[in-house]
Structure formats: C-alpha cells, structure tokens
Amino acid sequence: MLFNGADHWGGDVDVSCPAGKDVRIIVVRGTLENVGDGSLGELARMIDDGVGGRAAIDDLDYPASWEAGSEARGVNMLVKTLNAQAQACPDVKTVLLGYSQGAMVVGDALSAPDVRFNKDDGQRVSARALTNIAAVELFGDPRFDGSADYDTGDYDRSVDGILGARGGDDLRALSGRIISYCNADDFACQLGGHGDAHGLYRSNGSFDDAAQYAVTRIHTALGE
C-alpha cells in the first residue's frame, strides 16, 4: 500500500490534561478521512455517552494519506502522545480507536519496534502508558491476524490482512483490553476481499458492541 515507508518525526504533541475528565479517547482515522470527521467519531461519542460524558475525544492529526511514510508518521505521533500524556495525566485512562490505516497505526504503535511494518523512530510505548490503556478497538486492520483470540466478526479465520498477519504475541500485553473487528470480504483485513464490507462497521452493529466493550473496560480501569 502506498502509505507505507519510513518516517522520522520530531514534532511536539499535546500534553494538556482534559479538565474534569477521567478518560481520553484517541481516534486514529482511516486513509483520506478528515480530522474530526472520521468513521469512528460516532463510536467515540457513544462511548462518552456510556460513561456519562466523562471522556475527552481527540483525533490523532497524522497524515492519513496515501503518501509514503503516512503510517509510520502516525506511529511516531501516537507513541509520543501516549507517553507524554501518561506522564502529564497519570490518572486519566485511555481508549484507542483505529480504522483501516488507523488500525494499523494503533497496532504497530503498541507493538515492539522490531515487529512494526515500517521503519519509524523506534520508540516504545512506556509501561505507564500501557497501564493507563483501558481499551483498544481496531476495525479493518490491514495487519489483521485471523487466528488471534481478540478478533471478532464474520471473517474467515484462515485469511489474514492485506499486509500479512501480526505476530501472535505482538499485542499480548493488551490481552483482555483489545478487540479487532473484521467483516467477511473486507479487503483490508481479509486478503482477496472486495466490495463494500470495509465501510460497514458503522451500520452492521459493530459500533454497539464496541461501545459496550469499551464502557465495561473503562469502568474496570477506573475501579467502578
């Protein structure tokens, strides 16, 4: 895919704490989606409603383009954001939502640098930041592993994503806090797929399930 390739980024990230909020939801949008208007914005609002308006919703402002290095730029930005915010706001829990290229960004950011698809700055998400993550939800991940125990959907378990499966242990640290949605025939998470399946997560009930999954884990993370 054209968005692959190396990237190195030395920019600044937002380290402000969301006033009066217990949770920060970070939305990582898909290719060519606009900041603040991606497919997962509705889901983020559903999760916020489910926790009584206690969540701040942020969009990761990475390129989300077809340009080479877009995905690696997203990884660099997300890792730096998670680490900085965990240090500045240690009591705020995090929910990560990623769609399409954004799902790949989230999964790679949470993996060790040596198993990421593209070469980036090589920084790891800190132990504090990992602990603060309440839930991770991926949709249409190009690195979907059909055999992973955190998958859900009507996908074919014998088929992986268009860019090949992640390693079985790449996201083991998030066990019990991560779920990956894949529709049958979604070309991104099911190699050889086609048609409209990649865009149906909003309308096929996945968002209702995902909202409940996140809300339950937020309550657990907050000790409620």
Which H/E stretch holds residue 79? helix 70-88
Read off the pLDDT of each residue in 123-128 and give the average, rounded to a whole number: 97
Render pLDDT for 134-155 as a digit per residue (tens, 0 to 9).
Answer: 999 999 999 999 999 999 999 9
pLDDT of res. 2: 82
Render pLDDT for 15-35 as a digit per residue (tens, 0 to 9).
Answer: 899 999 999 999 999 999 999
Render pLDDT for 102-113 as a digit per residue (tens, 0 to 9).
Answer: 999 999 999 999
Find, among 28, 148, 10, the residue nearest to 78 by Cα.
28
Whether 69 has a pLDDT exceeding 90, the answer reads yes
Give the Å distances, CA to CA, from 204 to 86, 184, 210: 34, 12, 12
Extents of the domains making up the chain: 23-221
Global confidence as pTM: 0.97
Per DSSP, which regions of the chain are E strands?
23-28, 55-59, 93-99, 133-139, 151-152, 178-181
Residue pair 90/128 in contact by the 8 Å Cβ criterion:
yes
Quote the mean pLDDT of the chain. 96
Helix, strand, coil shares, percent, the chain, to 5: 30, 15, 55
Contacts (Cβ under 8 Å, ≥6 apart) of 142: 1, 100, 101, 103, 104, 161, 162, 163, 188, 189
Share of the chain above pLDDT 70, in %: 100
Give the Å distances, CA to CA, from 95 to 34, 129, 147, 162, 193: 20, 11, 24, 25, 29
pLDDT of res. 194: 87
Q: Report the CATH fold assignment for 23-221.
A: Rossmann fold (3.40.50)
Read off the pLDDT of each residue in 113-130 and give the average, rounded to a whole number: 97
Question: Could you tell me the pLDDT band of residue 117, with boundaries at 50, 70 and 90?
Answer: very high
Read off the pLDDT of each residue in 65-92 and give the average, rounded to a whole number: 97
pLDDT of res. 187: 96
- 3 state SS of 93: strand
pLDDT of res. 12: 92
